């Protein structure tokens, strides 16, 4: 209750200087203009593919061509890129092969403009958020300036990447929830509902661009819990009132986002309806929905050419090729692997365990319990296993391709079992889950999912496990080519949207977890990020662009972060000791420290989890956290200035106040001017040469320009 | 609203009477000011009291004391009976006894070993083994092999079994100290007693029983300290010190003991925050002093203890052994019979003309190597090479590991008089001893790491590829040696002059043509571990005719000491560094590893041992009823606390303040303890096993008992419910005991089982017991 009255009084005016007036508008428009100009200046340069544009541009093209692909990020960001490309006349033909490829006649500027425009919004969102939090024009202006002067954010938001889109939605969410909370005195009004909807929309879009948006969702959740707690504590209102509030938030912040999120995926799956290079990652049933897939017959007969897909999420096809296991790795016979891409070498012919297949013989269907041989169609070798260690998993038996022209030995015989099947049950394409038991060694054909070394082309190991309960030992028939049987309609296998939705998530999470740094690779570590230890090249050659934060801003951010911790501790202890501030000071402190605490929590939320991540990390993962840190710095500066107001007399204070404000403004702008060549491109001369634009600015040895 | 009014009135009355007396000594450690509220228009602050009636309790102390002892002795005896029953059987290596047994035998032989866990647990067992005259000669080769008669297996398993038994009475006292009722405390102890996982884990040479005992005892002392502190008993300090000692020792057994330490210390600080800081009777100055004192006592005790455990560890293990190669040359040289025997008497300062071997300092042990073979003209992926002589990193000592340090402008390799000392920043060439070719690198992609430069020994093919064989010596720890390059001690980077890249061990292996040796490259990222090298063996080049004079000169430069003696701090620092950053133990997908998510519902256990003759086996598995009830208890607790919090926010008080305080205290210690010991495993990137869960499990068992007590207090008005509740609890306990008995066969592993018996125990499809094929 007391807190609420506090905020109300704040609205009346924390001080005369900080009212919503002309200076507010002037600063706001200035910031937008500055932001827009800096972001769009030279946006078409360099006219070649920069850094990850090679991925996201390519995916944009795939959307335009409607071919199916696999990516670890959710689809919204890429769909927006594709949409902007489509609207600005890009036809989806440019291959985006590797960074440095010239665009030539391709109309890529539209996509870049779109991303930069979204990136531009980060600044006004920052301004508005801080304004709503603190009702202080100073703080808002500082925040916007901290954000706009950072060359790192500038670089990151100028290219065809997911980050500008992500940062846009993230800042939108933060602004939405802050604005929404200031409307607590007009509940259920139109304004109230629209800001709640806005927050829900932005939040969902944020997590639909990148999964790190989850941290933003958690932030919104925490703020909502705090909000609900305040409402619950208001004893003047009946409990029913709390329930109403809860339901409203449940609806708009949980139900609506889930529906919206699924809609994004629905659109994604509807657009991508042609078979493409991502098929292999998905189950056979999933693929049956794509135009141009390769499913043929419903029942498997002897003599059919089939491909076998492993049932592990993202599991590949049973594969062999004309290469032998190298010396010292088991028997020197032909390699058997699993491979996630479609290929002629995935084809196997089903044969009776002793008879050869003859064209004229009547059609005989494959049944549960049958003994078979599987012949690799391309190399005419049989799937074979023997009591020799598998290459990576030493406890399993090695699986090889053996024999000449389909003639092998007794170790080529496999028993087919349908999972949960009974004798005489016929093997179906796609739907039957099969196990292949080696007849002599009593082991089950499985894939361990481990990558083979270079000699195995980094495909995955296939082995024979004597533990018949192995989880990865289930396979299903996918391609099934047998002209004597009629073809089947795909609708039989068609999974509904929900199943496809769930499967694409399973595959994405697996893909994300699989992004482990390779041995010997130098990766970026989370501790390096806040200190701006090392950047990332976006473009090389004669137009060098280097993603690096403005060190002045980054390092002072750290300083203010520490300062905040001290200020917070100091005030908490004072409060715990029972000291009271005069009401004016207390009010100022309350607003400022509360905003700071939230910003600090947001910073932690967007930074600390990376420490626990095993996947490969990049420098640009820090930028969401950086935005919060920059806003925190702005509020801390304002806090210090406002505290000075109570310490000095009015005249001295005015002098100090204006001097410091001017100093900070000019300092930030000057540092921006110094480092801006990093974003707009610099010639290839190293910074050690006196004629370089960056001469004398290589402050850390680890910076690579 | 009526309810509130009534309750408020009664409380105000109570307050009027007691307020004055309570202002001084009110406050329990978990609750105090949290319940400020405004009643009607009068701004009367009411503070809920969480006080236990001390006077009445103190009167009863004597009476209770006698009871406690009998109960705890009975509990202890029960534990001893279950834990010590045929402790010496099976006389085979069971599961991780393989590792711990090996470490203990190395302790017996005073041979250095490397383990990524701290040594205290192993030291305890080693003490018992020492007293039982274990000679450490048994070879711990594989799980299941039989112990020879000279292994005092009972003594080796004694400490874990004893600790496992002591856990039970400690739980009893711990629960009493948390102001639970006596029967709750007994129940909690019984639950842990009847868990098969604790039983199994306590019977073998494993660390968990000790880890849990010290952690739990530390927490017990912490709570005792906090309770005593409330009425200022002077014995409180003893309990504080005891708590810190015990918690730190738990940390010294395994690093996961750190969670217990955190819990204990956080309890102390939270109490400090709630009770001491608001106390205005203490002046600001005194408060600061007091805080500093408290802070330093907590950390001082912990750090001293931690250091002394390592001090003992390093002073016992004096001899070189099989794990030496993990450590740096300097460390190895400090061990008896290790490098010291090789490096004894070699010159200290590396000079022009020095013959050296260069060891890759951190990570994989290997020496810079070259041999007359050249790089293949083309690699399989069609890239070309320089076709010059290969340079590799070789994991064995070899005559081809010798290199000669040479100044570029001097032709003779003889060490002159005065010696020409190489210093930090000097430019040198490294000439391969046998082939006399100089170490070279150039802008050719390396064979396995194409983004790095190839390193070769230069052969002049006259193909306009000039030699680039100048290297700058960059001594990392130059302060210690006054810029001079010393053998063993100095850590060196070689910076290539033309390209300013550093010589680096890439970690990849060369294929057949490189004899599977390790690749050496240069990398533009200079500051990384793999670019660090040091001189290991070292001698001066002597020429034929000046032999006599040379020898004089060399003997003048001899190092007088037998072995380099590193100070404790240097050794400690290096050992810690390796323990934290050397993750070689990554067991590749162990057959019985499991995920944290599977633990609470016992997804799968671990096969510890199986008899070679019949199906008698030891399999780590919890008491399934107990584990499932634990999950339910946690859910009940969380639901209740959320419910209470919401109700209290609306000023409805469903339970009286004593019960409420007790309830939150339980949550603060037990629920937090559970999550603190469990959740971190979700972020661990290592192979995990079910036994990692046991530390958290103990808190879950205690919480279960506490929740049962709480539900009981809720039912106090309803007589019939109460009877039904008693009946259910009794049945439940019987079921737990029955499951415990049923599964104890696979905890003890003594009774032979038939395949059918084993399959009958497979209640969950995922429990993969071992059954011998007929």
**pLDDT single digits (tens) A86-105:** 998 888 888 888 788 888 88
Of B273, B287, B649, the CB nearest to A233: B649
Q: Which residues of A touch B506 (CB under 8 A)?
A: 520
Taking an 8 Å Cβ-Cβ cutoff, which residues of chain A contact chain B? 1, 229, 232-233, 235, 239, 327, 392-393, 395, 448, 450, 467, 469, 519-520, 522, 573, 576-578, 612, 614, 702
For residue A620, give the nearest of A556, A521, A702, A526 by alpha carbon. Answer: A526
Distance in angstroms (rounded) separating the CA atoms of residues B48 and B595: 44
For residue A47, give the nearest of A547, A535, A539 by alpha carbon. Answer: A539
Q: Which residues of B touch A573 (CB under 8 A)?
A: 277
- Number of helical (H) and strand (E) elements in chain A, helices listed first: 20, 14
H helices of B132-256, in order, are 153-177, 182-193, 196-202, 208-230, 236-253
Count the Cβ atoms, other than its own, within 10 Å of residue B733: 15
pLDDT over 60 (residue A163)? yes
CB contact under 8 A, A614 and B651: no
Distance in angstroms (rounded) separating the CA atoms of residues A198 and A174: 11
Nearest CA distance, B512 vs chain A (angstrom): 9
List, in order, residues 6 or more apart from A566 with CB less than 8 Å away: none
CB contact under 8 A, A467 and B768: yes
Q: Which residues of B touch A235 (CB under 8 A)?
A: 650-651
Task: Please report the pLDDT score of residue A1 as a whole number.
Answer: 36
Q: Which residues of A touch B591 (CB under 8 A)?
A: 395, 467
Residues within 8 A of A (CB atoms), B 10-49 only: 38
Q: What is the CA radius of gyration of chain B?
A: 34
Of A233, A235, A578, the CB nearest to B280: A578
Task: Please report the pLDDT score of residue B200 as a whole number.
Answer: 93
Task: Please report the pLDDT score of residue B642 as a whole number.
Answer: 94
What CA–CA distances, in Å, run from A235 to A4, A185, A228?
Answer: 13, 15, 13
CB contact under 8 A, A702 and B768: no
Q: Which residues of B touch A522 (CB under 8 A)?
A: 525, 528
Chain-centroid distance, C-alpha A253: 21
Residues B177 and B66: beta-carbon distance below 8 Å: no
What pLDDT digit, counting tens, does each position of B12-21 carry?
A: 444 443 433 3
CB contact under 8 A, A612 and B683: yes
What CA–CA distances, in Å, run from B291 to B237, B254, B272, B273, B296?
Answer: 15, 29, 9, 10, 8
Count the Cβ atoms, other than its own, within 10 Å of residue A205: 24
CB contact under 8 A, A576 and B273: yes
CB contact under 8 A, B768 and A469: yes
Q: Which residues of A touch B273 (CB under 8 A)?
A: 576
Q: What is the mean pLDDT of residues A269-273?
A: 85
Going by pLDDT thresholds of 50, 70 and 90, the confidence category of residue A342 is: confident
pLDDT over 60 (residue A692)? yes
CB contact under 8 A, A519 and B507: yes
Q: Which residues lie across from A367 on neighbouring strands?
A: A426
What pLDDT digit, counting tens, does each position of A232-260 carry?
A: 988 888 989 999 999 999 999 999 999 99
pLDDT over 80 (residue A397)? yes
SS3 content of chain A, % helix, strand, coil (to 5): 50, 15, 35
What CA–CA distances, in Å, run from B180 to B68, B142, B673, B700?
Answer: 13, 46, 17, 15
Residues within 8 A of A (CB atoms), B 551-580 only: none
Whole-model pTM?
A: 0.77
pLDDT over 70 (residue A655)? yes
DSSP B438-463: BEEEEEEE-SS-TTSEEEEE----SS
Q: Which residues of A touch B512 (CB under 8 A)?
A: 327
CB contact under 8 A, B649 and A577: no
Distance in angstroms (rounded) separating the CA atoms of residues B279 and B256: 35
Element (H, E) at A199: helix A190-209
Residues B452 and B523: beta-carbon distance below 8 Å: yes
Going by pLDDT thresholds of 50, 70 and 90, the confidence category of residue A208 is: very high
DSSP A405-434: TTB--GGG-EEEEETT--TTPBPBTTT--E
Four-CA torsion A49, A55, A57, A62, nearest 10 degrees: 140
Going by pLDDT thresholds of 50, 70 and 90, the confidence category of residue A500 is: confident
Q: Which residues of B touch A229 (CB under 8 A)?
A: 649
Distance in angstroms (rounded) separating the CA atoms of residues B169 and B69: 9
Q: Which two tokens stand for residue A373?
A: 């041989």
- Mutant choice from B287, B511, B649, B765 vs A, greatest count of A C-beta within 10 A: B649
Of A239, A522, A578, the CB nearest to B650: A239
Compare all CA atoms of chain A with the CA of B510 and give the residue at the minimum distance: A454
Nearest CA distance, B683 vs chain A (angstrom): 6
Ranges of residues in chain B with a pLDDT under 50 are: 1-60, 62, 544-546, 548-562, 585, 587
CB contact, 8 Å: B285 with chain A?
no
Compare all CA atoms of chain A with the CA of B281 and give the residue at the minimum distance: A577
Distance in angstroms (rounded) separating the CA atoms of residues B774 and A132: 76
Task: Please report the pLDDT score of residue A631 as a whole number.
Answer: 94
Q: What is the CA radius of gyration of chain A?
A: 31
A-B contacts at Cβ under 8 angstroms? 41
Q: Which residues of A touch B650 (CB under 8 A)?
A: 232, 235, 239
Nearest CA distance, A2 vs chain B (angstrom): 11
Of A235, A239, A577, the CB nearest to B278: A577
Cβ burial of A225 (10 Å; 0-12, 13-18, 19+) is exposed
Q: Which residues of A touch B507 (CB under 8 A)?
A: 519-520
Going by pLDDT thresholds of 50, 70 and 90, the confidence category of residue A14 is: very low
CB contact, 8 Å: B508 with chain A?
yes
Nearest CA distance, A34 vs chain B (angstrom): 37
Quote the Cα angle for A592-A593-A598, to 5°: 105
Task: Please report the pLDDT score of residue B592 as a whole number.
Answer: 82
3-class state of residue B703 by DSSP? helix
Tokens 């450690």 locate to B29
Q: Which two tokens stand for residue A655?
A: 């002098």
Cβ burial of B580 (10 Å; 0-12, 13-18, 19+) is exposed
CB contact under 8 A, A576 and B278: yes
Task: Please report the pLDDT score of residue B685 as a whole number.
Answer: 74
Task: Please report the pLDDT score of residue A522 as a whole number.
Answer: 58
Of A232, A395, A702, the CB nearest to B646: A232
CB contact under 8 A, B650 and A235: yes
- Mutant choice from A520, A540, A579, A610 vs B, greatest count of B C-beta within 10 A: A520
Overall size of chain B counted in residues: 774
CB contact, 8 Å: B525 with chain A?
yes
Q: What is the mean pLDDT of residues A521-532?
A: 80
Sign of the torsion angle spanned by Cα atoms A657, A660, A664, A667 = positive
Quote the Cα angle for B334-B338-B340, to 5°: 55
Residues A137 and A635: beta-carbon distance below 8 Å: no
CB contact under 8 A, A573 and B649: no
Instruction: Tell me the residue ranges of DSSP E strands in B589-639.
Output: 606-610, 617-620
Residues A6 and A590: beta-carbon distance below 8 Å: yes
Q: Which residues of B touch A392 (CB under 8 A)?
A: 588
Residues A645 and A582: beta-carbon distance below 8 Å: no
CB contact under 8 A, B685 and A519: no
Distance in angstroms (rounded) separating the CA atoms of residues B450 and B172: 64
Compare all CA atoms of chain B with the CA of A610 and give the residue at the minimum distance: B683
Residues A14 and A132: beta-carbon distance below 8 Å: no
Task: Please report the pLDDT score of residue B12 as a whole number.
Answer: 40
Compare all CA atoms of chain A with the CA of B284 and give the residue at the minimum distance: A577
For residue A308, give the nearest of A391, A399, A423 by alpha carbon. Answer: A399
Mean pLDDT is lowest, of A437-441, A508-512, B707-711, for A508-512
Mean pLDDT is lowest, of A137-151, A476-490, B311-325, B727-741, for A476-490
CA atoms within 13 A on the CB side of A617: 20
Of B277, B508, B646, the CB nearest to A520: B508
Q: Which ipTM value was assigned to this complex? A: 0.77
- Number of helical (H) and strand (E) elements in chain B, helices listed first: 21, 14
Tokens 């194409």 locate to B450
Compare all CA atoms of chain A with the CA of B505 and give the residue at the minimum distance: A520
Domain ranges of chain A: 1-28, 294-489, 515-705
A294-489 fold: Trefoil (Acidic Fibroblast Growth Factor, subunit A) (2.80.10)
Choice between A488 and A82, residue whose per-residue pLDDT is larger: A82
Of A232, A576, A614, the CB nearest to B277: A576
Compare all CA atoms of chain A with the CA of B1 and give the residue at the minimum distance: A235
């Amino acid at each position: 209750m007391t807190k609420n009255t506090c905020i109300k009084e704040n609205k009346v005016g924390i001080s005369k200087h900080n009212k919503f007036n002309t200076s507010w508008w002037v600063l706001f428009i200035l910031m937008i203009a500055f932001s827009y100009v800096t972001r769009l200046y030279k946006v078409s340069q360099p006219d070649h593919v920069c850094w990850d544009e090679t991925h996201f541009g390519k995916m944009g093209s795939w959307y335009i061509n409607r071919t199916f692909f696999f990516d670890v990020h959710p689809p919204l960001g890429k769909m927006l890129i594709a949409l902007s490309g489509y609207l600005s006349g890009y036809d989806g033909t440019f291959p985006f092969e590797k960074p440095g490829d010239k665009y030539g006649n391709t109309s890529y500027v539209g996509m870049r403009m779109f991303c930069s425009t979204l990136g531009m919004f980060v600044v006004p969102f920052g301004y508005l958020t801080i304004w709503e939090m603190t009702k202080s024009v100073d703080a808002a202006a500082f925040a916007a300036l901290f954000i706009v002067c950072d060359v790192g954010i500038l670089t990151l938001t100028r290219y065809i990447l997911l980050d500008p889109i992500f940062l846009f939605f993230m800042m939108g969410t933060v602004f939405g929830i802050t604005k929404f909370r200031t409307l607590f005195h007009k509940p259920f009004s139109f304004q109230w509902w629209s800001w709640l909807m806005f927050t829900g929309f932005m939040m969902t879009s944020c997590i639909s661009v990148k999964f790190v948006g989850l941290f933003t969702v958690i932030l919104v959740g925490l703020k909502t819990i705090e909000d609900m707690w305040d409402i619950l504590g208001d004893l003047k209102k009946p409990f029913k009132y709390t329930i109403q509030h809860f339901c409203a938030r449940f609806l708009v912040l949980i139900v609506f986002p889930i529906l919206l999120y699924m809609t994004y995926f629905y659109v994604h799956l509807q657009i991508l309806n042609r078979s493409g290079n991502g098929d292999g990652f998905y189950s056979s049933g999933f693929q049956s929905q794509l135009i141009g897939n390769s499913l043929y017959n419903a029942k498997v007969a002897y003599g059919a050419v089939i491909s076998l897909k492993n049932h592990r999420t993202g599991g590949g096809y049973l594969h062999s090729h004309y290469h032998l296991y190298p010396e010292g790795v088991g028997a020197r016979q032909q390699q058997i692997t699993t491979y996630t891409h479609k290929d002629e070498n995935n084809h196997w012919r089903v044969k009776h365990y002793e008879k050869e297949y003859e064209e004229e013989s009547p059609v005989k269907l494959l049944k549960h319990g049958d003994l078979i041989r599987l012949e690799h169609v391309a190399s005419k070798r049989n799937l074979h296993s023997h009591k020799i260690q598998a290459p990576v998993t030493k406890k399993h038996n090695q699986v090889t391709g053996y024999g000449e022209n389909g003639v092998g030995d007794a170790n080529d015989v496999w028993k087919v079992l349908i999972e949960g099947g009974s004798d005489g049950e016929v093997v179906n394409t796609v739907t039957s889950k099969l196990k292949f038991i080696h007849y002599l060694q009593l082991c089950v054909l499985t894939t361990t999912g481990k990558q083979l070394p270079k000699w195995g082309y980094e495909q995955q190991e296939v082995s024979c496990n004597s533990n018949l309960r192995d989880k990865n030992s289930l396979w299903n028939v996918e391609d099934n080519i047998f002209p004597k049987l009629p073809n089947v309609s795909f609708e039989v296998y068609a999974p509904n949207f929900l199943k496809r939705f769930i499967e694409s998530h399973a595959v994405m999470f697996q893909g994300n977890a699989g992004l482990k740094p390779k041995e010997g690779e130098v990766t970026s570590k989370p501790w390096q990020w806040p200190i701006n230890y090392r950047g990332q090249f976006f473009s090389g050659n004669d137009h060098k662009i280097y993603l690096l934060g403005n060190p002045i801003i980054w390092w002072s951010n750290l300083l203010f972060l520490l300062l905040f911790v001290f200020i917070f501790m100091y005030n908490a202890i004072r409060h715990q000791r029972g000291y009271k501030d005069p009401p004016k000071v207390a009010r100022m402190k309350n607003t400022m420290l509360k905003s700071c605490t939230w910003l600090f929590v947001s910073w932690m939320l967007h930074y600390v989890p990376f420490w626990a991540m095993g996947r490969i990390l990049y420098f640009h993962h820090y930028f969401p956290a950086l935005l919060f840190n920059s806003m925190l710095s702005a509020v801390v500066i304002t806090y210090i200035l406002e505290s000075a107001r109570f310490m000095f007399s009015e005249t001295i204070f005015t002098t100090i106040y204006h001097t410091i404000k001017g100093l900070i403004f000019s300092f930030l702008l000057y540092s921006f001017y110094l480092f801006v060549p990093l974003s707009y491109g610099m010639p290839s001369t190293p910074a050690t040469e006196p004629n370089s634009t960056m001469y004398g600015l290589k402050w850390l040895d680890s910076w690579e320009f | 609203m009526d309810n509130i009014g009534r309750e408020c009135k009664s409380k105000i009355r109570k307050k009027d009477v007691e307020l004055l007396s309570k202002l001084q000594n009110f406050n329990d450690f978990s609750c105090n000011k949290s319940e400020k509220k405004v009643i009607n228009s009068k701004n009367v602050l009411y503070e809920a009291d969480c006080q236990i009636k001390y006077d009445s309790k103190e009167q009863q102390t004597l009476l209770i004391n006698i009871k406690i002892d009998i109960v705890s002795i009975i509990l202890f005896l029960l534990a001893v009976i279950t834990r010590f029953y045929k402790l010496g059987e099976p006389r085979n290596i069971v599961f991780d006894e393989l590792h711990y047994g090996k470490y203990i035998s190395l302790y017996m032989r005073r041979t250095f070993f490397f383990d990524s866990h701290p040594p205290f647990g192993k030291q305890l067992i080693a003490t018992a083994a020492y007293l039982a005259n274990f000679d450490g000669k048994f070879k711990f080769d594989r799980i299941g092999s039989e112990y020879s008669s000279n292994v005092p297996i009972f003594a080796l398993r004694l400490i874990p079994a004893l600790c496992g038994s002591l856990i039970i009475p400690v739980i009893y006292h711990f629960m009493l100290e948390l102001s639970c009722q006596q029967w709750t405390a007994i129940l909690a102890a019984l639950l842990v007693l009847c868990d098969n996982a604790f039983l199994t884990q306590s019977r073998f040479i494993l660390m968990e029983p000790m880890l849990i005992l010290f952690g739990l005892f530390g927490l017990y002392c912490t709570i005792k300290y906090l309770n005593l502190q409330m009425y200022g008993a002077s014995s409180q300090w003893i309990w504080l010190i005891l708590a810190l000692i015990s918690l730190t020792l738990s940390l010294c057994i395994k690093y996961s003991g750190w969670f217990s330490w955190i819990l204990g210390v956080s309890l102390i600080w939270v109490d400090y925050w709630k009770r001491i800081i608001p106390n205005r009777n203490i002046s600001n100055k005194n408060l600061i002093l007091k805080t500093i004192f408290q802070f330093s006592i907590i950390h001082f005790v912990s750090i001293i203890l931690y250091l002394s455990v390592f001090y003992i560890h390093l002073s016992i293990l004096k001899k070189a052994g099989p794990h030496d190669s993990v450590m740096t040359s300097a460390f190895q040289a400090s061990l008896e019979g290790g490098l010291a025997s090789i490096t004894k008497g070699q010159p200290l300062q590396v000079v022009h003309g020095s013959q050296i071997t260069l060891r890759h300092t951190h990570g994989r042990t290997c020496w810079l190597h070259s041999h007359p073979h050249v790089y293949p003209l083309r690699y399989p992926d069609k890239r070309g090479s320089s076709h010059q002589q290969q340079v590799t990193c070789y994991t064995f000592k070899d005559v081809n590991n010798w290199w000669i340090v040479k100044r570029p402008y001097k032709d003779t390799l003889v060490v002159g008089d005065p010696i020409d000392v190489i210093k930090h920043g000097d430019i040198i060439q490294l000439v391969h001893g046998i082939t006399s070719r100089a170490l070279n690198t150039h802008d050719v992609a390396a064979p396995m790491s194409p983004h790095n430069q190839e390193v070769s020994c230069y052969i002049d093919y006259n193909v306009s590829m000039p030699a680039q064989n100048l290297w700058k010596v960059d001594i990392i720890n130059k302060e210690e040696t006054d810029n001079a390059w010393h053998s063993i001690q100095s850590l060196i980077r070689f910076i290539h002059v033309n390209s300013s890249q550093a010589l680096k061990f890439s970690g990849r292996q060369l294929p057949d043509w490189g004899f599977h040796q390790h690749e050496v490259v240069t990398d533009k990222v200079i500051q990384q571990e793999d670019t660090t090298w040091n001189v290991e063996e070292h001698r001066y080049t002597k020429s034929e005719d000046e032999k006599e004079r040379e020898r004089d000169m060399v003997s003048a430069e001899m190092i007088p000491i037998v072995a380099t003696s590193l100070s404790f701090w240097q050794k400690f620092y290096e050992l810690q560094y390796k323990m934290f950053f050397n993750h070689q133990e990554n067991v590749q997908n162990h057959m019985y590893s499991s995920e944290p998510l599977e633990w609470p519902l016992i997804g799968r256990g671990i096969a510890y041992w199986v008899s070679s003759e019949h199906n008698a086996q030891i399999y780590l598995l919890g008491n399934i009823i107990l584990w499932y009830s634990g999950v339910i208890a946690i859910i009940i607790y969380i639901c209740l606390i959320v419910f209470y919090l919401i109700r209290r926010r609306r000023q409805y008080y469903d339970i009286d303040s004593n019960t409420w305080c007790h309830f939150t205290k339980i949550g603060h210690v037990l629920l937090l303890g559970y999550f603190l010991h469990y959740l971190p495993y979700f972020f661990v990137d290592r192979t995990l096993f079910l036994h990692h869960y046991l530390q958290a499990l103990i808190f879950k068992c205690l919480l279960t008992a506490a929740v049962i007590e709480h539900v009981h207090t809720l039912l106090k008005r309803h007589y019939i419910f109460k009877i039904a509740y008693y009946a259910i609890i009794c049945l439940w306990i019987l079921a737990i005991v029955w499951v415990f008995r049923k599964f104890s066969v696979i905890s003890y592993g003594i009774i032979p089982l038939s395949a059918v018996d084993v399959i009958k125990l497979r209640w969950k499809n995922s429990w993969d017991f071992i059954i011998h094929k007929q």
